[in-house]
């Protein structure tokens, strides 16, 4: 197995924008993302940074807006590839699959935001492509979101509900420290 670290949407939108990450606390998950990036770089694991680009007039993730920017903690670290995406899945319309195939990478390890949308979609896409997938549960996160009845779903409950089906379908869910120890 050869893995790449996929760092998804660690953008200001999730810190000072419309979708503030609440669980795990954003400063803690951001620190774990940095640890995963540092561990990957030290071990020679390729790092792919993904940015979400909102559609014009959509409101969030507007290119050239302050909330579109990558967090400094990610932007200032080494990476092998930066891709922009317009949909939740990091493989959709991005060239990520081809880039990984060219390097014989058959597994992705995912960190970033939001657990229940872009991280989940990317993990599922990897499985559908015949790849392995892991998600570092303390290096991803969610905000509180409204349920279908309009009542808020607290972030900790939402995080647990997002991770449970991923483990059921074969995504490995583990803490950052364990993953870093396994690659270094």
Burial class (CB in 10 A: 0-12, 13-18, 19+), 100: buried
Catalytic residue among 63, 104, 106, 118: 118
63 belongs to the catalytic site: no
- Cβ 92 vs Cβ 58: under 8 Å: no
Both tokens assigned to 2: 């050869």
Q: How far apart are CA 7 and CA 35, in angstroms?
A: 12
Catalytic residue among 76, 85, 104, 120: 85
64 belongs to the catalytic site: no
- Cβ 4 vs Cβ 41: under 8 Å: no
Catalytic residue among 9, 119, 120, 138: 9
9 belongs to the catalytic site: yes
Return contacts of 58-65, CB within 8 angstroms, 24+ apart.
59/18, 60/13, 60/17, 60/18, 60/19, 61/9, 61/11, 61/13
Catalytic residue positions? 9, 85, 118
């Amino acid at each position: 197995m050869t893995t790449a670290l996929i760092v998804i949407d660690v953008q200001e939108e999730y810190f000072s924008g419309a979708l503030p990450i609440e669980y795990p606390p954003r400063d803690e998950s951001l620190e774990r993302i940095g640890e995963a990036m540092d561990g990957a770089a030290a071990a020679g694991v390729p790092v792919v940074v993904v940015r979400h680009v909102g559609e014009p007039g959509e409101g969030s993730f507007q290119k050239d807006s302050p909330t579109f920017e990558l967090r400094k903690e990610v932007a200032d670290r080494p990476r092998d590839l930066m891709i922009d995406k317009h949909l939740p899945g990091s493989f959709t319309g991005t060239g990520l699959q081809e880039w990984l195939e060219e390097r014989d990478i058959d597994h992705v390890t995912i960190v970033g935001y939001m657990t229940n949308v872009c991280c989940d979609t990317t993990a599922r896409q990897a499985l559908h492509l015949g790849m392995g997938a892991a998600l570092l549960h303390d290096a991803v996160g969610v905000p509180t979101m409204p349920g279908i009845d309009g009542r808020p779903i607290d972030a900790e409950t939402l995080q647990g509900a997002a991770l449970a089906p991923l483990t059921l379908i074969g995504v490995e869910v583990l803490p950052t420290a364990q993953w870093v120890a396994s690659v270094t």
